[in-house]
Amino acid sequence: MKAVCWHGANDVRVESVPDPKILNPRDVILKITSTAICGSDLHIYGGYIPTVQPGDIIGHEFMGEVVEVGRGINNLKVGDRVVVPSTIGCGGCYYCQHDMWSLCDNSNPNGWVEEKLFGNITSAIYGYSHAFGGYAGAQAEYVRVPFADVDVVKVPKDIPDEKLLFISDAIPTGYMGAELCDIQPGDTVAVWGCGAVGQFAMISAYMMGAEKVIAIDRFPERLELAKNFAKAEVINYEEVDAGEALREMTGGMGPDACIDAVGLEAHGVGFEDFYDQTKQKLKLETDRPHVLRQMILSCRKGGTLSIMGVYGGFVDKMPFGAAFIKALTFRMGQMHGQKYMHLLLKMILEEKFDPSRVVTHQLPLEQAAHGYDIFQQKKDNCIKVVLKP
């Protein structure tokens, strides 16, 4: 089959690789019909994620049709159309049983690598390095889906892929980001990053009762989408000081909750940006925590920070004293896709919102390298790329 393989920083290639096979009774093989490039794939593409090896198949946001079923699966059959969450959960461990699927104890066979780095094992993620399980990714014609009896949601056949695909990752990530804010009626929620996850976080925040949502980015086309699709008020941080603007827009208090939909490759302005960029290049810090710093400083006292952008290691110059003095609550983590997938499907079928609005580019799988390039460089007003195997 054809698959997108990583070969080093800013180097992905579509290559011929062996087809996946059923390895365990609870596996299915999926023929992929749509697979997206996620913002966190850009961290791999840029070479920021350790333990990715040349030749690894990447990609973790996908849907498709079941073409082969393991003998331990009773609830799926060949021909079923399904969406699959990015993180792999076994369904049986303490964490899966308590709906914390991305913290699964059993799905990551290379958990010892993580244990050394982080002190604990978390779930595997498709196509996201050997530390996260070494599973083949889903930017491919076919993929093996383990624990498929609990890890997929069946979807109807008469709805286009683009409305359903993001149940795999971007929608539950945004939704969980809003849920972690514990939004009260009348709250103002600020969202850093207006990519797909940010857009879905904004929509979710309104659904959960926020009165005002403020979007922060620097790309006019993304801010435009935040305005028109997510109905947010917007701040372009290259034009105005985001911290000052937030205070002004909230009567001097600051937002009640702040959502980070950016993560470790954040851009800042001025010396702070130069400092982080340089330290990251010299490998003196792994992550650029610009958004985290700004959230701590601009959130209202007693407010909540919800962190959904991916961080991988160590950050520097965190104003932790401010976080303490202001009595902020920090909540974060990889999304628990299996917890949300049925609810999100129901919302989409009820046409509460149209996720396909975030798609700016649909490309054949063969053009994956071009897709990564325009997404990383934000060329051609690129917001979200869907690859079609």
Task: Answer yes or no whether residue 104 interacts with Zn ion by CB under 5 A.
Answer: yes
Which SS3 state, helix, strand or coil, does residue 105 take? coil
Task: Answer yes or no whether residue 96 interacts with Zn ion by CB under 5 A.
Answer: yes
Task: Answer yes or no whether residue 262 interacts with Zn ion by CB under 5 A.
Answer: no
Reading the block at residue 36, the tokens are: 């997206």
For Zn ion (CB under 5 A), the number of binding residues is 9
Q: How far is the CB of 38 from Zn ion (least distance, A)?
A: 3
Task: Answer yes or no whether residue 257 interacts with Zn ion by CB under 5 A.
Answer: no
Residues 58 and 4 sit within 8 Å (Cβ to Cβ):
yes
Task: Answer yes or no whether residue 306 interacts with Zn ion by CB under 5 A.
Answer: no
Task: Answer yes or no whether residue 385 interacts with Zn ion by CB under 5 A.
Answer: no
Q: How far apart are CA 6 and CA 4, in angstroms?
A: 7
The stretch near Zn ion (CB under 5 A) out of 8-16, 98-106, 295-303, 362-370 is: 98-106
For residue 358, the 8-state DSSP code is G
Q: How far is the CB of 59 from Zn ion (least distance, A)?
A: 9
Q: How far is the CB of 103 from Zn ion (least distance, A)?
A: 8
In the complex with Zn ion, which residue's Cβ is closer, 162 or 169? 169
Q: How far apart are CA 276 and CA 288, in angstroms?
A: 6
> Out of 28, 90, 226, 261, which residue is the one contacting Zn ion (CB under 5 A)?
90
Q: Which residues lie closer than 8 Å to 367 by C-beta, 6 or more apart?
A: 387
Q: How far is the CB of 203 from Zn ion (least distance, A)?
A: 18
In the chain, the amino acid numbered 141 is: E
Question: For the purposes of burial, counting CB atoms within 10 Å of the CB of 36, is it exposed (0-12), middle (13-18) or buried (19 or more)?
Answer: buried
In the complex with Zn ion, which residue's Cβ is closer, 87 or 298? 87
In the complex with Zn ion, which residue's Cβ is closer, 82 or 235? 82
Q: How far is the CB of 195 from Zn ion (least distance, A)?
A: 10
Task: Sheet with 329-332: list strands edge to edge.
Answer: 233-236, 212-217, 188-192, 257-260, 304-307, 329-332
Q: How far is the CB of 154 from Zn ion (least distance, A)?
A: 21
In the complex with Zn ion, which residue's Cβ is closer, 96 or 155? 96
Task: Answer yes or no whether residue 169 interacts with Zn ion by CB under 5 A.
Answer: yes
Nearest to 245 by CA among 180, 320, 297: 297
In the complex with Zn ion, which residue's Cβ is closer, 106 or 139? 106
Q: Which residues lie closer than 8 Å to 141 by C-beta, 6 or more apart?
A: 1, 2, 3, 31, 32, 365, 389
Q: Binding pattern to Zn ion, positions 6-45, x when CB under 5 A?
A: --------------------------------x-x-----
Task: Answer yes or no whether residue 93 interacts with Zn ion by CB under 5 A.
Answer: yes
Q: How far apart are CA 258 and CA 21, in angstroms?
A: 43
Q: Which residues bind Zn ion (CB under 5 A)?
A: 38, 40, 89-90, 93, 96, 104, 106, 169
